[in-house]
């Protein structure tokens, strides 16, 4: 079989790139491990099922606020199996839609492990088929990995591949890692009724340099407020299996009995054993594929996108890179990766969204910045919705006024951030953002307010007469 483009991995990035290539007139084929893994990690074991459970937790949160709206609930019961069923139903629906749509467009999916035989040949183990390709896009994603003394065993220590099989809610759970996965599951399990201990080795949750300290600390306080036992600067010293679960000793000296440990740290790119290096594709020392601004590898007709290109493992990064790769295959040179505008979004007790530089990063780069902050506490729409927590921070170049970053904690941060993503794509200034239009009442107003704080100076500090 001969194709213009063979894509290894029909996950978020591969699938999106495939549809894009098809739409641009290319003859495309996918290679994917099995019919059950179409959609990749995000759909099957990541953002889609976790966002579903997170919405359930959000609904439970709403119970406490209903009285303010004249709604007096008579309590509720939790049925974890129904949650799982609803969640798996959404995942399956999307996965089947993926397959149906590919079929409708006549894009074949070959099932099995795809291995590069040379830069123009993919061998599909399982189906034992050889595919010839003008271009290859590698989009094989990543897998969870153990860290130190914490090796996932599916019983005492669960990773993010294994957590979905859980048939009942843990009574007590220890979550290792205060990154996106950790804070998300801490919120979910806590709201559904588990006792949750969350340990993070750094001094705060969301310790990524891309997320400002203020955002992480704000979320950390909120997690503590809802009863999560958050322990920063702490890790697991040792653990042992007991008849009823796991006994854990933490580095802060405390000991805990939990049902299991959920490991929210450590993923490795799936770049081994698929013929990459043999075909001449260069990897870096951590196993990531080296790519240029067009998502092209060291082999000109082989491209790579997503989790295998850098530790920033986000579905939309992969989708973006995949489409840029296809554009480059078609001879276009004007669409390049722009890492500045990739948003990082976390759904926990609050939504946390970041794009571009933090103040700390700007400082390290010797860029003078001004920062405008608009709190949601006094935002009328947030007050109406009973969700008036958090803030919008706009980081702007002092000299030019260009918006260099935006950091939002609060209601619908994950959607709001896109307004600034689009502005940053076009290198817009705080003047632009300040003079644009925001409906009233809306959460979006905070973007205009924060921008005005930079452009005109903070009004609350203004002293006159």
Instruction: Select the residue interacting with a second copy from 25, 243, 253, 273 (CB under 8 A).
Output: 25
* Site membership for a second copy, residue 381 (CB under 8 A): yes
Q: What are phi and psi of 368, to 5 degrees?
A: -75, 125
Q: What is the SS3 assignment for 348-373?
A: CCCEEEEEECCHHHHHHCCCCEEEEE
Instruction: Select the residue interacting with a second copy from 163, 186, 342, 450 (CB under 8 A).
Output: 342
HSE-CB at 453 with a 13 A cutoff on CA atoms is 21
- Choices 175-183, 211-219, 252-260, 441-449 (CB under 8 A): range interacting with a second copy: 441-449
Total site size for a second copy, rule CB under 8 A:
99
* Site membership for a second copy, residue 43 (CB under 8 A): yes
* Site membership for a second copy, residue 320 (CB under 8 A): yes
* Site membership for a second copy, residue 345 (CB under 8 A): yes
* Site membership for a second copy, residue 102 (CB under 8 A): no
List Cα–Cα distances, 304 to 10, 263, 266, in angstroms.
Answer: 13, 27, 21
* Site membership for a second copy, residue 386 (CB under 8 A): yes
State the DSSP string of 274-326.
SSTTTTT--B-TTSPBP--TTSB-SSTTEEE-GGGT-S---HHHHHHHHHHHH
Verify whether residue 412 is a known catalytic residue: no
In the block, tokens 């400002």 appear at 212
Question: What is the Cα–Cα distance from 98 to 86, expressed in whole angstroms?
Answer: 19
Site for a second copy in 190-219 (CB under 8 A): 192
* Site membership for a second copy, residue 19 (CB under 8 A): yes
Instruction: Select the residue interacting with a second copy from 10, 124, 219, 319 (CB under 8 A).
Output: 319
Contact at 8 Å (CB) between 324 and 304?
no
* Site membership for a second copy, residue 315 (CB under 8 A): yes
Residue whose CB is less far from a second copy, 156 or 318: 318
- Which has the closest alpha carbon to 382: 356, 406, 408? 408
Which of these is catalytic: 328, 412, 418, 440? 440
In the block, tokens 């099989």 appear at 165
Residue whose CB is less far from a second copy, 151 or 378: 378
Question: What is the Cα–Cα distance from 108 to 102, expressed in whole angstroms?
Answer: 7
Give the nearest distance from C-beta 236 to a second copy in angstroms: 29
Where is 65: in which H helix or E strand?
A: none
* Site membership for a second copy, residue 395 (CB under 8 A): no
Give the nearest distance from C-beta 423 to a second copy in angstroms: 6
Give the nearest distance from C-beta 346 to a second copy in angstroms: 11
Question: So which residues are the catalytic ones?
Answer: 440
């Amino acid at each position: 079989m001969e194709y213009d483009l063979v894509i290894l991995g029909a996950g978020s990035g591969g699938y999106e790139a495939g549809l894009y290539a098809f739409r641009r007139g290319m003859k495309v084929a996918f290679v994917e491990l099995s019919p059950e893994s179409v959609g990749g990690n995000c759909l099957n074991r990541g953002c889609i099922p976790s966002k579903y459970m997170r919405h359930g937790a959000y609904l439970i949160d709403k119970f406490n606020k209903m009285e303010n709206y004249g709604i007096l609930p008579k309590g509720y019961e939790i049925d974890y199996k129904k949650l799982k069923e609803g969640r798996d139903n959404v995942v399956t629906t999307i996965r089947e839609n993926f397959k149906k749509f590919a079929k409708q467009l006549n894009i074949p999916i070959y099932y099995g492990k795809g291995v590069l035989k040379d830069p123009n040949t993919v061998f599909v183990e399982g189906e034992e088929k050889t595919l010839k390709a003008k271009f290859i896009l590698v989009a094989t994603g990543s897998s969870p990995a153990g860290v130190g003394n914490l090796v996932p065993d599916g019983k005492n220590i669960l990773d993010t591949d294994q957590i979905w099989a859980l048939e009942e809610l843990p009574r007590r759970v220890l979550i290792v890692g205060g990154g996106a996965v950790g804070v998300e599951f801490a919120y979910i399990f806590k709201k559904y009724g588990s006792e949750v201990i969350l340990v993070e080795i750094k001094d705060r949750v969301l310790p990524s340099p891309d997320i400002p300290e203020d955002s992480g600390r704000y979320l950390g306080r909120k997690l503590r407020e809802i009863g999560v036992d958050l322990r920063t600067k702490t890790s697991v010293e040792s653990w042992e299996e007991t008849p009823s679960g796991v006994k854990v000793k933490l580095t802060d000296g405390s000991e805990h009995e939990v049902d299991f440990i959920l490991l929210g740290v450590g993923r490795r790119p799936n770049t081994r054993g698929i013929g990459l290096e043999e075909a001449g594709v260069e990897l870096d020392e951590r196993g990531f594929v080296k790519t240029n601004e067009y998502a092209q590898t060291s082999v000109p007709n082989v491209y790579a996108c997503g989790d295998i290109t850098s530790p920033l493992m986000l579905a939309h990064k992969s989708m973006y890179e995949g489409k840029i790769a296809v554009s480059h295959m078609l001879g276009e040179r004007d669409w390049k990766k722009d890492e500045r505008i990739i948003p990082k979004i976390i759904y926990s007790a609050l939504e946390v969204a970041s794009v571009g530089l933090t103040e700390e990063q700007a400082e390290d780069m010797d860029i003078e910045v001004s920062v405008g902050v608009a709190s949601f506490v006094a935002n009328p729409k947030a007050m109406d919705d009973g969700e008036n927590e958090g803030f919008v921070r706009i980081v702007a170049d002092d000299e030019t006024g260009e918006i260099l970053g935006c950091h939002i904690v609060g209601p619908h941060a994950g959607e709001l951030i896109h307004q600034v993503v689009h502005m940053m794509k076009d290198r817009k200034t705080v003047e632009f953002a300040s003079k644009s239009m925001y409906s009233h009442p809306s959460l979006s107003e905070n973007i205009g307010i924060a921008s005005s704080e930079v452009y005109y100076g903070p009004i609350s500090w203004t002293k006159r007469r």
